[in-house]
Structure 1
Amino acid sequence: MTTQPGRGLVLVVEDDPAIAELASLYLRRDGFGVHVEADGGAALATIRRMRPVAIVLDIGLSGMDGIEICRTLRADGDWTPVLFVTARDDELDRLLGLEIGADDYLTKPFSPRELSARVRTVLRRAAGAPSPAETYTAGDVRVDVTQRRVWAGGAEIALTSTEFDLLTHLARRPGQVFSREQLLSSVWGYAASAGTRTVDVHIAQLRGKLGEHSPIRTVRGIGYAADAG
């Protein structure tokens, strides 16, 4: 079912009808149009046809799962914001090792109010905010804040809006160590109670994309820092 978008159309890909309906209810209350798909293959076709502003994507779909859908989109150059919904810890472990390009994730059971708030957050981040001309260097990585572009070892790297903001936050203060709680608050705008593992997921994704040029250093027992250029 689709409703007319106010803030834009959000695609909810979820094979549990009760969860899909609850998520849709709160997204509609926030002024979004909503379309629901329960099948991964159908969802991919819908994304290409309807061009939603954001995708709420369950990982554990039968057939084509959420990770495969997201990787296919990114490989096609489609950077529509994706918020993963996961049901099990082993799904989170899969996320930690993959550079799949998700913008955020929630674990079940989740608050539908929080889901809607996070969709608004990733959309604000994707839109970007006017900023002064800024360029930062961390190791072999250069970040152009004005153009929202990143180069690693001379090659341009495509990042999600969340990955870009996280890298910028670290590169802006080279050598400074940030705890996971500080990064969650500063980059995502969430309280630590929302769970700090999302920071580890996105650090893993960033490192995967930057490869050997990654300047991000783990400080055991504390958090992360970016090496100076």
Structure 2
Amino acid sequence: MDDKVILKELRDLTKDRQSWKVNIDCVADKLNNAYSNAVKAKALWLLGEMGLRHPKEIEGYVEDIVSYMDNDDSKLRERSVNAIGRIGRADKNLIIPHLDKLMDMRLDESENVRHSFVWACENIASTAPDLFCEKLDIFYDMIFDSGQKVRIEAPEMFRVIGKQKPDYVIPYLEKLEWIAQNDENRIVRIHSAGAIRFTKKALEESCND
């Protein structure tokens, strides 16, 4: 089948969320080598969204999705990381066996993949912050990444953790304050200030409990 036809079918399915549960197998089939990278990339993205809503039904395909983190095509690595982030947001237990592999993606040569790594970790941390509380040095270092997209996204991890586990962000508050006041990138400054604000609010609320 022509790529254009398949991609249109996947786009149409993306809009039809009510039918996602019964079409997971069909979308996962698009990951085999009979299909182009463009189709695989779209399928990976959709499987991530499906997994967020139907984690039990996606469980059998998690390893297939993770395998694309080793692909030569950076778009497929990016989409694989995205998908694991969404699936992990729904059920951390599905991605815990692959967490070390996910963490390795912070070193990917592609800026888009590294950006997706931070975004995926934020997704997972929103429901399972404990997985990242001892890993915040990684995200602090990524505020100084060579890629602007990565730098902009990295402070958001401190916001996510700060809202739920503010004690773990305390050691970074002074550093984030400096970045919020001095970084050359306006969005990095804004996101760092937001992380500080959410963390301090959570600390105040915990003191009042």
| Structure possessing the higher radius of gyration over alpha carbons | 2
> Which structure: greater helix fraction?
2
The structure with higher relative contact order (CA 8 Å, sep 6+) is 1
With normalisation by structure 2, the TM-score equals 0.35
With normalisation by structure 1, the TM-score equals 0.33
> Which structure: greater strand fraction?
1
